Amino acid sequence: MKLLVFAWILGVCWAQYNPNTKPGTTSIVHLFEWRWADIAEECERFLAPNGFGGVQISPPQESIRLTNPWMPWWQRYQTISYNLCSRSGTEKELRDMVTRCNNVGVRIYVDAVINHMCGASGGAGTHSSCGTYFNADTKDFPSVPYSAWDFNDGKCKSPSGDIENYHDIYQVRDCRLVSLLDLALEKDYVRGRIAEYMNSLIDIGVAGFRVDGCKHMWPGDLRVVFDKLKNLNTKWFAENTRPFIFQEVIDLGGEPITASEYFGLGRVTEFKNSAKLGTVFRKWDNEKMAYLKNWGEGWSLMSSDKAVVFIDNHDNQRGHGPGGASVLTFWDSRLYKMATGFMLAHPYGVTRVMSSFQWPRHIVNGKDENDWVGPPSYSDGSTKPVPINPDSTCGDGWVCEHRWRQIKNMVIFRNVVNGENFSYWWDNGSNQVAFGRGNKGFIVFNNDDWNMDVILLTGLPAGTYCDVISGQKEGGRCTGLQITVQGDGRARFQISNTAEDPFIAIHINAKL
């Protein structure tokens, strides 16, 4: 009995840190700006068969529609109501997606925009994704409903009403983030409406939430909201399963608000993972891969059981938010694949893979003038479907990094080695490194400017393995390199510094 109570307390206290993915699957993919209909298809035809655990979707609530600039991606971060029609589709399509993804064991996480409504200059009218009337001047959002009473403006002490100084924690929480009308989360009424919104999604079957802009909300207010959340829908989840919570808090150090203030509520996005791995793989600031031997907490990242990690996100891949120029994206595909491979092979954190769309990048004085451009769309602004090419890549401007062989295969690698220790580290003191995961997988990188030819202890059982970077195991043979592990667990790795992908990964499910 005592044990049961203990287990129950543990379950209640720790549950929101668990992504609730199907056993044997570990990673999340952010299908940024995808339509619900396409995500449903992707779950069935690609994500489930390839061991993806879940999908972070773009904000599903009603948002503003802007014409200047033309339908920017970021209009979805300007809430108008909690109605569920958006650029990605109708409520019916959303429900169909959640059902179909859950039915094949792929979870859905909602990007929840609860800190604010639209920008103060959003005007009045029905230019919203469900066509609902609102008035940003009078702060009237009748279809929630919110009125002027429900906003923080009285509390904010900055001259402009906007956040002007990230070193003033009161401004950061009580003033407007880039002029977005800041909801008063201290009010029971507001907390209740937000919890109702999130609960409506839990009823539909989502597994959790990426909570937008948590730095701008007081942890105590968030606590009350999260405590009001229901357990997950028992159609797909065990009884008493708590929603997975991961909070967007940008903490690169140097500000008074830290990620650790939010650890009690759920996981937190670890932006240092993105900024620092970018710096290491680019070899900036005299960084070397050899230093990654103690990657994770050893680099003053938050504790692994609190972290959600990624190489880039929808903001920092285009210069919004933090991280700056070091962040690797699909535009730097060779280094990007390596860095993503490293992240997925390493035991640190819950991993999220980015899946982007292309835009006409136009960098002037370090700033991308086209950082606002929305997803591939028709002239009326509706988002285009994601067409799949015969070689399994995507067309029409959808990048689909998650479908790149190297990345897809490393998502599988992570599932295969899940729970195994970080082991058999080797480095050359420079940018050639290797490590294993228990006796189940091994990965080797050459990011130096010279060739690599080494014999390393892999810990794997003797046999012939298919490298899952240059190819994979298909029909009993390797489509890329073959690696032979000897009886003593050693294998020879030769990696040219000019190889298309200068890294090799093998695991026990890719053994011939």
Q: Among candidates 497, 411, 318, which has minimal Cα distance to 52?
A: 411
Distance of alpha carbon 402 from alpha carbon 385, whole angstroms: 17
| Cβ 235 to ligand AAO shortest distance, Å | 30
Q: How far is the CB of 434 from ligand AAO (least distance, A)?
A: 31
321 binds ligand AAO (CB under 6 A): yes
- 505: three-class secondary structure by DSSP: strand
Query: Of the listed pieces 209-217, 291-299, 334-342, 402-410, which binds ligand AAO according to CB under 6 A?
Result: 209-217
Pick from 416, 284, 259: nearest CA to 339: 284
323 binds ligand AAO (CB under 6 A): yes
Which regions of 390-481 does DSSP assign to beta strands (E)?
A: 422-427, 432-437, 441-446, 452-457, 463-466, 473-474, 477-478
The smaller minimum CB distance to ligand AAO, of residues 119 and 502, is found at 119
Binding to ligand AAO, residues 126-155 (CB under 6 A): none
Does 248 contact ligand AAO by CB under 6 A?
yes
Site for ligand AAO in 89-118 (CB under 6 A): 113
Q: Is 363 in the site for ligand AAO (CB under 6 A)?
A: no
Residue of the chain from 20, 21, 61, 78 that contacts ligand AAO (CB under 6 A): 78
Q: How buried is residue 82: exposed, middle or buried, by Cβ count under 10 Å (0-12/13-18/19+)?
A: buried
Q: Which of 299, 192, 195 is CA-nearest to residue 252?
A: 299
Contact 106, 205 (CB under 8 A): no
Residue 261 within binding range of ligand AAO, rule CB under 6 A: no
Is 80 or 250 the residue whose CB approaches ligand AAO more closely?
250
Contact 37, 98 (CB under 8 A): no
Residue from 169, 252, 290, 457 that binds ligand AAO (CB under 6 A)?
252
Among 36, 77, 151, 237, binds ligand AAO (CB under 6 A): 77
Binding mask 21-60 for ligand AAO (x = CB under 6 A): ----------------------------------------
Judged by CB under 6 A, the residue of 164, 196, 255, 449 near ligand AAO is 255
By beta carbon distance, the residue nearest ligand AAO is 119
Question: Which SS3 state, helix, strand or coil, does residue 146 take?
Answer: strand
**Gap between the Cα atoms of 36 and 60, Å rounded:** 9
How many positions of this chain bind ligand AAO (CB under 6 A)? Answer: 25
Q: Quick check: 320 binds ligand AAO (CB under 6 A)?
A: yes
Per-residue buried b or exposed e for 181-215, using 16+ beta carbons within 10 Å of the residue's own CB: bbbbbbbeebbebbbebbebbbebbbbbbbbbbbb
Our finding on whether 74 is near ligand AAO (CB under 6 A) is yes
Residue 250 sits in the site that holds ligand AAO (CB under 6 A): yes
Q: For residue 196, which of 75, 323, 81 has the smallest C-alpha distance? A: 81
The catalytic residues are: 212, 248
Note the residues at the interface with ligand AAO (CB under 6 A).
Answer: 74-75, 77-78, 113, 119, 121, 166, 177-180, 212-213, 215, 248, 250, 252, 255, 315, 320-324
